[in-house]
Structure 1
């Protein structure tokens, strides 16, 4: 079976954990979009793995790992992750495949990201400063783009970089008054990147179609969340790629019809990093309680996340645009201790109620959540093994979420470990 795992909120939902669990029965795991701005965490026993570019299935020793064409690859980060796993006894030799058409994030992208964000002042977007946006911009612009295949010919790459760095330095000095960057230093890094990564570079589209043709199980891993999708999210407070499941076909060359099941991942509440409208945000003691109990600080940036009640309107929207079949509801244990919980079941905008999420930020900024109140629970959930092990109030909370979003919850997270996941029949 071919499965896609995608986040239904503003990222940080816990996709890494779900992908790691499903990878046990998968032959191939594919990252189909985003870059090192993603942060996927996998906890095995007492070991914690934080991955930014490698598929979360890379922790499983017999799983092939694909970084597909729509991913923007930061070679420095990728090499660090490969070496980090090797130091812990996990080898990616002969099982990591990087698309030759994936674009490359280099130091001038990170500098451009930083300078642009600083120049925006209070209007800044809240980027991770990882160079993701500028790299995607160069991809679309085409003239100043570098792809993984370029590492195969260093002489030709040097000529390309000479033109690109000259252009970028003119931009940095004239527009921002910044110091120019060194072509020699960038090229020296690229030689190292080429030596380490070229053995992994291949035509991943061909590889994936061969795998599917042979009846192998392929697991597709989304990055960020659907509400950060460049075209369908809360623009401009979004990422620079199609982070919903809609990005899968163009992101790896596999048609959507070849995917048998789409699993959407949500937290039992909602979080967001950076700027942008957030209707159910709780900028108060409740939000602080969720943040501290749920350890809601960015895997990539360490920034504190904004926290709020579960937004059923937003989740239902992501389910609709992503053709999601079932839901994995994580961090249910974080809500233990709250006497009363709230679920947003509708918005009121300009005096009218709606249950359809407006991705346009001007309309979303006007949205006032219509809440349904439910009793909380005091019991810790970490030892629960079945749905029936959960307190009655927790079971009712899960069932109400199912009713509001219109899809069954099939997996429930009650802690960070692999084993702290309840498989619930739809």
Structure 2
């Protein structure tokens, strides 16, 4: 994809997650000779679907390259790892039945572990908030695990693989720490330690834990192509997202470097995946959200239900004001516009092009949470194309009104739209040569 000294590509969700990253990752692995796929942040709170090899795969913590026999897969130091979920996902997706799968995956010894107590605390914290202040957490324990990491009482994979008695002691101290804050939590310490002992043996027998920083460094230096797949989406970033309604990690391009130990100078491509409209799961600001029949239509035709939570996604028009901000932060070199076909039957399509707050035109999104409720959105309207795009494979063959819509997005954010998704199948993709 790029010259050997910049042979790392980063693929990120450019909105609030659920943009269809899996489909684009699948295409890149298949067509750009990707040798390594790597997860850099998040945990099993993320989720995407890949349709390949005649079946559907649901991934939450596994890198998507696990389905390709030629791809090595890395779970980096920036990921928080739920080992119950890890082994369960391998089984659920039929990976355990494939010969030699264990030779194609490595978990960083520096990654932090998610425990049952983290999930319980996640739920208790969310329950304690008033309805309008709920973050919309997945209750997977991701935020509390990152909190443990920052509080410096977190437990890493390396701790599990070392002396088990010391690991057990650290774990007991962690549980006691949380019990002081949340006396009502119930943790079966011995049962969980028993499970971790089994996980430890499996990890050791299969040789799944290692130095992922050194591994990726060696792969890069030997000219191999590395694809880093971000979880969640840029607008959920802990720093740049709609705080506090965000995830607990950096889901922007910086997280790819810190979450894997990859230098920024190694990154040659940054691909932003953007849905042709906007969706969000859970609570949090959503200025272009639709509460009418158009919103219901987007939800229904787009089958907008979260892979991880099963929750219905909120739907609205694409927000180019936020997308431009996302592009500014991440430096996208290409955009993948997905689910364009969902708009095929809309007579009128709108896009957000600006915000006002208290009558003042904004040049950046609000940094203060309460300000979002008062945002006025400026829209531009487009005539719908009212023609199916699903069978189209060349950009020139898209309806003219559809191309006008795409060109406007490209001109507004000043990033080329290279990939256009027009259907659920892996073949339903237009690739433009830019």
Are 2:51 and 1:34 equivalent residues in the alignment?
no
SS at 1:110 equivalent: helix
2:237 to 229, 237, 251: 229
Specify the alignment match of 2:110 in structure 1: 101
Matched positions, count: 421
Q: Which among 175, 195, 200 is matched to residue 201 of structure 2?
A: 195
Distance in 2 between the 1:181 and 1:224 partners? 29
Instruction: Supply the RMSD in Å over aligned alpha carbons.
Output: 1.5
Separation of aligned partners in 1, 2:279 and 2:268? 29
Alignment of 1:347-386 (within 5 A): 347-386=355-394
CA contact 1:101–1:148 (8 Å) conserved in 2: yes
User: 1:45 & 1:82 partners in 2: Cα distance?
Assistant: 16
Residue 174 of structure 2 is aligned to residue 168 of structure 1: no
Return the match for 1:115 from 116, 121, 124: 124
Q: Do the aligned residues in 2 keep the contact of 1:128 with 1:301 (CA within 8 Å)? A: yes
Work out the CA distance in 2 between the residues paired with 1:324 and 1:316: 10
Residue 309 (structure 1) aligned with residue 317 (structure 2): yes
1:342 is aligned to 350
Instruction: State the SS of the aligned residue for 1:164.
Output: helix
Deviations for 1:251-303, whole angstroms, at most 9, x for unmatched residues?
11111121001110100001111111111111111111001101111000010
- Is the 8 Å Cα contact of residues 2 and 261 (structure 1) preserved in structure 2? yes
In 2, the alpha carbon distance for the partners of 1:216 and 1:372 equals 44
* 1:319-339 Cα deviation digits (max 9, x unpaired): 000111110000101111110
Q: Distance in 2 between matches of 1:194 and 1:322?
A: 37
Q: Residues 90 and 55 (structure 1 numbering): CA distance in 2 closer, same or farther, change over 3 Å? A: farther
Alignment partner, residue 157 of structure 1: 167
Answering whether residue 180 of structure 2 is matched by residue 180 of structure 1, we say no
SS in 2 for 1:111: helix
Which segment is superposed worse, 45-54 or 70-79?
45-54
**Aligned residues of 2:120 and 2:185 also touching (Cα < 8 A):** no
1:18 aligns with 2:24: yes
Given the superposition, is the C-alpha separation of residues 380 and 197 from structure 1 closer, same or farther in structure 2, using an over 3 Å criterion?
A: farther
Aligned to 1:407, what secondary structure does the other structure show? coil
Q: Tell me if the contact between 2:121 and 2:185 (Cα under 8 Å) persists in the aligned partners.
A: no
- 1:339-397 deviation per Cα after TM superposition (whole angstroms, max 9, x unaligned): 00001111122212235333433333322111111111222222111112211111111
TM-score, with structure 1 as normaliser: 0.96
What SS does the corresponding residue of 1:337 show, helix, strand or coil?
Answer: coil
| 2:292 aligned residue (284, 290, 298) | 284
Q: Is the 8 A contact 1:310 1:344 kept in 2?
A: yes
Matched position secondary structure for 1:169: helix
Contact 1:10 1:227 in 2 (8 A): yes
**Residues 385 and 421 of structure 1 are in contact (CA less than 8 Å); yes or no, is this contact kept in structure 2?**
yes
Normalising by structure 2, what TM-score? 0.94
What is the aligned partner in structure 1 of residue 3 from structure 2?
A: none
